[in-house]
């Protein structure tokens, strides 16, 4: 193969027209005929497409069992799940001041917007330089008498340091709300995420490792949290209560039976797929760890299983002739390896969040975040569907990075 880079007119390592990466979500006519269609038909003929059906209850129970929790509450979206989890954990009605919630400054916007939606204040803190998850030391420095919760994000599928976070939470009487949107199947010391803190929130958006296009889930062992979340999503009704009685104020965040049916089928594949992602990521990391300028994702010692929604490596221009992060991503993409720089800035600096902070300065407080800033400058993401490929697919990723390294070094 020519050493001329594809971005300069050479032949790419992978011809994605002939050999496309696995599409996501995975789909087949056999799965439709034998699994999906019969369940959707069952919903359709039942006449119960939302409340009163069986698929939502079945999926909620099975996901709770998978996550190792007593309760699961199916939601329409991941963002709603965070809002509901906060409402349940902190007993919020959304009208009074909900207090301060500590959030990592390297995350998707929904982590913080859901906090603001519940009339809580967002306190942005730094992340750990290796795991990109919330830094316990930064949390300790951010706590005030108004702090009520910590909202760790298991970024890319790497569980946060939940043991240390729990020590902090216990000391200051705080709740822990886990943002598990990118971490389906991940484990902290053999416990599935979503079962470690007080409550967990998941997303089933179209890119996620378990998806129905949109959807979410709240998991918890706490009956009071469960009951408050149920009221939040079902117009204030108590679980099992009368239809026209509303003991709490709630909203309509009820999901669809059709989405639950699809997720019931896909949940059966999640553990096997997670294990495959972990095997391929380990193989890929072992091949890349000697590469000058590339640092593969690191596992903290508490990670017994990574979710690998993202394969988050870091890039150093010094190992690639001084070429920038964006130049590397452009070159790697041209070689047929889809990738991204990820979040372009700490969330507090994104225009929408910065506008809120300027207009409502009491609602957002940002502590120094040098690690989050560095991660934004250095990150290169590969996506979870690529880790469902073969070892030869992983070899092509390594080959493409090596090709760029040799050309620029």
- Strands across the sheet with 294-295, in order? 294-295, 310-315, 379-383
Give the whole-number percent of the chain exceeding pLDDT 90: 96
Dump pLDDT digits (tens) for 55-67.
999 999 999 999 9
Dump pLDDT digits (tens) for 69-118.
999 999 999 999 999 999 999 999 999 999 999 999 999 999 999 999 99
- Would the pTM of this model clear 0.85, i.e. be above it? yes
Say how far apart CA 93 and CA 143 lie, in whole Å. 23
Say how far apart CA 227 and CA 239 lie, in whole Å. 6
**How many CA within 13 A on the CB side of residue 348?**
23
Q: Which of 246, 260, 250 is nearest to 74 (CA)?
A: 260
**How many CA within 13 A on the CB side of residue 84?**
35
Q: What is the mean pLDDT of residues 356-382?
A: 98
Dump pLDDT digits (tens) for 342-366.
999 999 999 999 999 999 999 999 9
In the predicted model, is pLDDT for residue 14 greater than 80? yes
Orientation of helix 78-90 relative to helix 223-233, angle to 10°: 130
Q: What is the pLDDT of residue 242?
A: 86
- Kindly calculate the radius of gyration of the chain based on its CA atoms and give it in whole angstroms: 22
Contact 275, 76 (CB under 8 A): no
């Amino acid at each position: 193969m020519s050493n001329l880079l594809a971005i300069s007119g050479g032949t790419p390592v992978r011809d994605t027209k002939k050999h496309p990466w696995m599409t996501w979500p995975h789909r087949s006519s056999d799965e439709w005929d034998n699994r999906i269609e019969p369940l959707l038909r069952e919903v359709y003929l039942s006449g119960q497409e939302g409340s009163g059906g069986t698929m939502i209850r079945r999926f909620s129970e099975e996901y709770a069992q998978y996550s190792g929790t007593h309760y699961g509450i199916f939601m329409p979206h991941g963002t709603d799940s965070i809002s509901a989890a906060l409402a349940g954990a902190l007993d919020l009605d959304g009208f009074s001041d909900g207090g301060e919630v500590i959030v990592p400054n390297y995350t998707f916007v929904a982590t913080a917007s859901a906090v603001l939606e519940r009339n809580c204040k967002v306190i942005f803190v730094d992340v750990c330089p290796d795991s990109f998850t919330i830094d316990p030391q930064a949390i300790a420095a951010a706590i005030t008498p108004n702090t009520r919760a910590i909202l760790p994000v298991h970024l890319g599928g790497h569980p946060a340091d939940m043991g240390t976070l729990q020590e902090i939470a216990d000391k200051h009487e705080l709740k822990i709300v886990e943002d598990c949107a990118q971490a389906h199947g991940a484990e902290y010391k053999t416990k599935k995420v979503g079962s470690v803190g007080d409550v967990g929130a998941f997303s089933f958006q179209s890119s996620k490792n378990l998806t129905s296009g949109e959807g979410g889930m709240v998991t918890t062992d706490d009956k009071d949290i469960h009951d408050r979340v149920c009221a939040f999503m079902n117009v204030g009704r108590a679980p099992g209560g009368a239809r026209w009685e509303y003991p709490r104020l709630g909203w309509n965040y009820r999901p669809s039976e059709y989405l639950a049916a699809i997720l019931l089928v896909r949940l059966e594949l999640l553990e096997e797929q997670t294990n495959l992602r972990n095997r391929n990521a380990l193989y890929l990391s072992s091949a890349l760890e000697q590469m000058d300028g590339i640092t593969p994702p690191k596992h903290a010692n508490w990670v017994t299983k990574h979710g690998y929604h993202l394969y988050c490596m870091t890039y150093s221009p010094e190992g690639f002739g001084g070429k920038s992060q964006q130049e590397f991503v452009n070159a790697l993409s041209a070689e047929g390896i889809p990738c991204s720089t990820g979040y372009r800035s700490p969330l507090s600096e994104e225009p929408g969040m910065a506008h809120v902070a300027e207009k409502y300065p009491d609602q957002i407080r940002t502590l120094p975040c040098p690690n989050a800033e560095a991660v934004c400058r250095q990150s290169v993401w590969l996506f979870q569907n690529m880790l469902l490929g073969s070892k030869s697919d992983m070899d092509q990723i390594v080959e493409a990075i090596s090709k760029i390294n040799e050309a620029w070094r």
